[in-house]
Amino acid sequence: MAFRDHLKFAQTNSEPVSIIHGMWEVSKQQGHPLLIFDNISECPGHRAAVNLLTRDRLCEAIGISPEEYIDTLAWAMENPSEPILVGHDDAHCYENMQEQVNLLDLPIPHHWPQDRGRYSSASVIIASYNGIRNMSFHRQFVRDERHTVVRLVPRHLRTMMLEARENGDDVEIAIVNAPDPVVLLAAAMSFKENIDELTIAAALHEKLYSKPLELTTMPNGVEVPADSEYVLWGRITGENDDEGPYVDITGTVDDVRQEPVIAVEGVFHRDNPIFHALIPGEAEHKTLMGLPRSPTIKDAVSKVCTCLDVHMTEGGCGWLAAVVKIKKENPDDGINAIKAALEGHKSMKMVTIVDEDIDISDPVRVEWAMNTRWQPDRDTIILSNQKGSSLDPSRYPDGTTSKVGFDATIHHDADKSGFMSVQ
Q: Which domains are present in the chain?
A: 67-271 (2.30.110.10), 292-389+397-410 (3.40.1670.10)
State which H helix or E strand residue 156 sits in: helix 156-166
Taking CA 310 as the corner, what is the angle to CA 391 and CA 304, rounded to the nearest 5 degrees? 105
3-state class (DSSP) for residue 22: helix
Q: Residue 263: exposed, middle, or buried by beta-carbon count in 10 A (0-12, 13-18, 19+)? A: middle
Integer angstrom CA distances of residue 304 from 311, 359, 382: 18, 22, 19
> What confidence score (pLDDT) does residue 72 get?
87
> What confidence score (pLDDT) does residue 418 get?
75
For the sheet with 35-37, list strands across it: 11-13, 35-37, 47-50, 274-276
Mind giving me the DSSP string for 291-318? Answer: TTHHHHHHHHHHTTSEEEEEEE-TTTTT
Mind giving me the DSSP string for 336-371? Answer: HHHHHHHHHSTT--EEEEE-TTS-TT-HHHHHHHHH
> What confidence score (pLDDT) does residue 192 get?
67
Taking the CB of residue 79, how many other CB atoms lie within 10 A of it? 14
Q: Which residues, 6+ apart, have CB-to-CB distance to 195 below 8 Å?
A: 80
> What confidence score (pLDDT) does residue 215 get?
97
Phi (first) and psi of residue 153, to 5 degrees: -75, 165
> What confidence score (pLDDT) does residue 57 get?
78
> What confidence score (pLDDT) does residue 413 get?
82
Integer angstrom CA distances of residue 179 from 1, 6, 230: 9, 11, 8
3-state class (DSSP) for residue 62: helix
Q: Among candidates 360, 355, 343, 349, which has minimal Cα distance to 395?
A: 349
> What confidence score (pLDDT) does residue 22 get?
95
Sequence letter at residue 22: G
Which of the residues 115, 170, 180, 248 is marked catalytic?
A: 248
State which H helix or E strand residue 203 sits in: helix 197-209
For the question of residue 248 being annotated catalytic, the response is: yes
> What confidence score (pLDDT) does residue 389 get?
86
For the sheet with 84-85, list strands across it: 84-85, 214-217, 223-225
Q: Which residues of the chain have pLDDT under 70?
A: 66-67, 192, 422
> What confidence score (pLDDT) does residue 376 get?
96
pTM over 0.85: yes
